[in-house]
């Protein structure tokens, strides 16, 4: 479709929401994954509730390097205005605890639960028997045995391979042409596009930290103060 034939899409941004975190536009090139009738292309990777309240991603992927806890899920789902994919363990946390946290996540409106790479097959089966929402399982290597995890109940894979992510996506896509794949896109639009072209259906975007965003705003405020001072003392 040419630029001249594209429909004009009205955009409204209120005064107090102008500084929201925008995911890279290139992510729109991804096909997306449809979960219960809603399509998701962009997933913002954060547990910072201020960022969760101020971004334009399609969903939040809330995983973190600690034992998952219901209080964290409760906090995130309370402030999120978009769907949430919640981490429910798989490494140190597994078995009954993972399935119980998954049930809690579902009860709080999460549209999916995320299990870590080391998750035992038995835990995947138990979570699958406990909840109705899709199970997303994290893949960190092209050599991982994916089929046994799919057979146990995994619905979507989430590829996180750092600089090697696009390669892993490409290799897995060769063997699983219809498998829903989420993948980290990397730091640039070029790396995101490469990951999409490799076969990722949706992209996880890591936003700037709260500290980085605040630093940018403080720099803006300092310039405003300096400009105001120069204007006031001009000609004196």
62 and 232 in contact (C-beta within 8 Å)?
no
Look at the block and give the residue holding tokens 């490469």. 194
Query: Phi/psi zone of residue 194: left (φ > 0), alpha (ψ -120 to 50 degrees), beta?
Result: alpha
63/112 Cα distance (integer angstroms): 12
Q: Domain segments of the chain: what residues?
A: 20-205, 209-236
Longest CA pairwise span in the chain (Å): 78
User: From first to last of its 236 residues, what are the pLDDT tens digits of the chain?
Assistant: 445 456 788 888 887 777 789 999 999 999 999 999 999 999 999 999 999 999 999 999 999 999 999 999 999 999 999 999 999 998 888 899 999 999 999 999 999 999 999 999 999 999 999 999 999 999 999 899 999 999 999 999 999 999 999 999 999 999 999 999 999 998 899 999 999 999 999 999 999 877 777 677 677 767 777 666 567 777 66
> What are residue 157's DSSP bridge partners?
137, 181
Residue 168 DSSP symbol: H
61 and 85 in contact (C-beta within 8 Å)?
yes
Q: What's the fold here for domain 20-205?
A: TIM Barrel (3.20.20)
């Amino acid at each position: 479709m040419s630029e001249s034939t594209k429909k004009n899409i009205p955009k409204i941004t209120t005064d107090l929401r102008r500084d929201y975190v925008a995911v890279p536009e290139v992510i729109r090139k991804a096909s997306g994954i449809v979960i219960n009738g809603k399509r998701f292309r962009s997933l913002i990777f954060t547990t910072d509730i201020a960022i969760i309240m101020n971004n334009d991603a399609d969903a939040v992927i809330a995983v973190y390097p600690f034992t998952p806890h219901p209080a964290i899920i409760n906090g995130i789902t309370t402030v999120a205005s978009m769907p949430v994919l919640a981490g429910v363990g798989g490494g140190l946390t597994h078995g009954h605890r993972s399935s119980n946290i998954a049930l809690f996540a579902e009860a709080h409106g999460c549209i999916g639960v995320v299990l870590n790479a080391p998750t035992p097959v038995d835990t995947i089966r138990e979570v699958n028997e406990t909840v109705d929402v899709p199970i997303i399982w994290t893949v960190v290597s092209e050599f991982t045995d994916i089929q046994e995890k799919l057979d146990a109940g995994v619905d979507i894979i989430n590829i996180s391979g750092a600089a090697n992510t696009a390669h892993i996506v490409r290799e897995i896509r060769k063997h699983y042409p219809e498998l829903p794949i989420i993948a980290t896109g990397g730091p640039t639009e070029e790396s995101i596009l490469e990951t999409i072209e490799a076969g990722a259906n949706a992209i996880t975007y890591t936003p700037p930290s709260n500290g980085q965003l605040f630093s940018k705003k403080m720099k803006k405020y300092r310039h405003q103060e300096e400009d105001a001072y120069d204007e006031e003392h001009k000609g004196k």
